[in-house]
Structure 1
């Protein structure tokens, strides 16, 4: 089990959270954490975003019409 200190809404303060034994095989990197004070559970979600491809974008110039 791993310990992290996070803010708990139920305890209204910063308390240690621990990862319970994970049935999904995440081990210490399990995204589910439980407050050691009151037992409230939280889920830590991480997101991965692709970097935008700025170099491959073509610059569009407006067409001029002859008067």
Structure 2
């Protein structure tokens, strides 16, 4: 098991959180954590965002535009 300290909203203090046994096979990398004080569960998630299409448009030079 892996242990981490986080603020628990239920306990209203910093508490030790542990990774419960993970049936999905994540092991210590499981995104689910449980407060050892009250048992409240939290989910730690990370997201990878792709650049938007608007960001691609800003990189293009205006030389490719045609006059009306």
Structure number having the greater helix percentage: 2
Larger radius of gyration: 1
Give TM-score, length-normalised by structure 2. Answer: 0.77
Q: TM-score, normalised by structure 1?
A: 0.78
Moved over 3 A (4+): 50-54, 61-65
The answer as to 2:40 corresponding to 1:40 is: yes
Give the total of aligned pairs: 64
Q: Which runs of 5+ in 2 are unaligned?
A: none
Counterpart of 1:14 in structure 2 is 14
RMSD: 2.6
Unpaired segments of 5 or more residues in structure 1?
Answer: none
